[in-house]
Structure 1
Amino acid sequence: MARTQGSHSDITGPRVRASALRLFAQGGYAAVSMRAIAADVGVQAGALYNYTPDKQSLLFDLMQSHMTQLLDAAYDDVAGTPTERLERFVEFHIRFHHARPDAVFIAYMELRNLTAQNFARIEALRRRYEDRLEGILRDGVASGTFAISDTKIATLAIIAMLTGVNTWFRTDGRLSLDEVVAQYWDMVRKSVAMPSAGG
């Protein structure tokens, strides 16, 4: 089938992904058809297959792109004390995810719709990101800075708490993003801190 006039792979491909990202976040992966994505982009349904083999591949591509961008941005941060590194991680995570609400929603809520093979590949990327935080926590425990009995549980709890900002924060709300980052850092800091003598 011929492409719609004015449709070029370097333009339409990103538009297909952007449309799918928005529609999946709004209505859920299962409820969005390839035909709906095509209509949103402004091409014939058959033309979508010039850019993606199927809807599952499109979902995987969106999740993989999000996780790759996350890992690329979250460089290996080894400078400074564990407390300083943890503070930088908290700020990075909140700000990175705040700027990508649709991608974050899909990355967490649509995992169940991946095939087993695609799920394993995304989970491997997620573990690489989690390992960076757990490395910070382990270094903090080893140095006597943090009091954590299970660094894996602490890692998952901190990430869940930080990601939760996306579910309620609004730029026109009572708190600025800077204030939210500061308050969340205070909560994370207190949750891992070694108890003070006599406390």
Structure 2
Amino acid sequence: MGRIAGSSGARTAASIRRAGLRLIYRRGFEAMSLRELAAEVGIQAASLYNHIRTKQDLLFDLIREHMERLLAHTDLALAAAPAGAEDRLRAFVASHVTYHLERKHEVFVANFELRALDPRHFAAIVALRRAYEEKLVAVLDLGVARGEFRIGDTRITAYAILAMLTGACTWYKPEGRLTKQEVVALHTGLVMHGCLGLAPTEGRSGTGLAALSRDS
């Protein structure tokens, strides 16, 4: 990549983050060198230190930025949803799946390179992840308290839901047979079906197997 002519400090810093994300996704954090990163951006290796202190700091900033954007995206979705637990859960699922399908590289780096963070940075990211998990747990707790959901353990259910929803970005392809909207609808049906505690042949509020078939 050629040098970015006339780029400002902010533009160069943004280019470094984008290039770092691509390289970490393709090669892994440990394999990526700062010299390689500088060449990708089109600047001298020494110039990187005008924008990042260390490779470790770059990784932390990428994951932190991902988590902060995810939290903000979810807050907006939940704020726009009606007060009922079912509506809030639908909003959470749609927000999570949509965000993750559109940010495959960020999701991969945040999940698989978390182990590469030093203890201080690791603790900071784990705190953000827990804050995000708590948003879903709160929705599930609300549904149980109001008798809307039939869940034995809301925290374990939240972990299972998040694992399923996040997994969609590992197989989804924009050119595939399902649109993003169809993927969201399918996962929404699966989550609601489980939380409402329906038997395989039951249906409620359009969330039975027939509705799942229509959604997907």
Considering the TM-score relative to the shorter chain, is it more than 0.5?
yes
Listed as ranges, the matches of 1:21-40 within 5 Å are 21-40=21-40
State the distance in 2 between where 1:135 and 1:159 align.
14
- Conservation of the 8 A alpha-carbon contact between 2:4 and 2:41: no
Matched position secondary structure for 1:31: coil
Instruction: Report the equivalent of 2:122.
Output: 119
Instruction: Report the equivalent of 1:43.
Output: 43
Q: Percent identity?
A: 43
Instruction: Report the equivalent of 1:138.
Output: 141
Instruction: Report the equivalent of 1:89.
Output: 92
Instruction: Report the equivalent of 1:11.
Output: 11
Listed as ranges, the matches of 1:1-199 within 5 Å are 6-75=6-75, 77=78, 79-195=82-198
Q: Which runs of 5+ in 2 are unaligned?
A: 203-216
What's the TM-score, normalizing by structure 2?
0.86
Assess, with a 3 A threshold, how the Cα gap between structure 1 residues 183 and 53 changes in structure 2: closer, same or farther. Answer: same
Would you identify which runs of 4 or more consecutive aligned residues in structure 1 move more than 4 Å? none
Query: What code does the residue aligned with 1:167 have?
Result: T
Could you tell me how far 1:194 is from its partner in structure 2?
A: 3.2
After superposition, the C-alpha distances for 1:114-155 in whole angstroms (9 at most, x for unaligned) are: 001100000101111111110000011111111111111111
State the distance in 2 between where 1:85 and 1:101 align.
24
Q: Which runs of 5+ in 1 are unaligned?
A: none
What's the TM-score, normalizing by structure 1?
0.93
Higher relative contact order (CA 8 A, sep 6+): 1
Could you tell me how far 1:10 is from its partner in structure 2?
A: 1.5
State the distance in 2 between where 1:177 and 1:128 align.
26
Could you tell me how far 1:80 is from its partner in structure 2?
A: 2.5
Query: What code does the residue aligned with 1:131 have?
Result: E
Q: CA RMSD in A?
A: 1.9
State the distance in 2 between where 1:91 and 1:4 align.
38
After superposition, the C-alpha distances for 1:55-96 in whole angstroms (9 at most, x for unaligned) are: 000000001111111111211626321111101111110111
Matched position secondary structure for 1:74: helix
